[in-house]
Amino acid sequence: MKMRELGSSGVEVSAIGLGCMGMSHHRGNTASRKEMIALLRSALDLGVTFFDTAQVYGPFTNVNAGPKQPRPLVENSHT
């Protein structure tokens, strides 16, 4: 996976990110928590380290859609 610097922060993230709006905020039904965790794990396995989340999707809803903090899953990712 190609990496890019995030602004001038010195933080490097994957050139391809995962938009997380559909995990909690959608016009129809959202997928189950189990399916969302599987999606996050697949993205990480493919080298994605940049996850686009926002408070507008529901306060802390996207953050809570993920696993209950198994650190190896999220330690090198950026939201």
Exactly one of 48, 57, 62, 77 is catalytic; name it: 57
- Would residue 67 be called left, alpha or beta, if left means φ above 0 and alpha means ψ between -120 and 50 degrees? beta
Domain ranges of the chain: 3-74
Q: Compute the distance between CA of residue 55 and CA of residue 3 in angstroms, rounded to an integer.
A: 25
Tell me the pLDDT tens digit for each residue of 11-61.
Answer: 899 999 998 877 776 677 778 878 888 888 899 999 998 888 777 766 666
Burial 52-61 (b: 16+ CB within 10 A, else e): ebeeebeeeb
DSSP annotation of 47:
T
**Cα end-to-end distance, the chain, whole Å:** 17
pLDDT score of 28: 74
Q: Compute the distance between CA of residue 42 and CA of residue 49 in angstroms, rounded to an integer.
A: 11
User: Active-site residue 57, yes or no?
Assistant: yes
Full-model pTM: 0.68
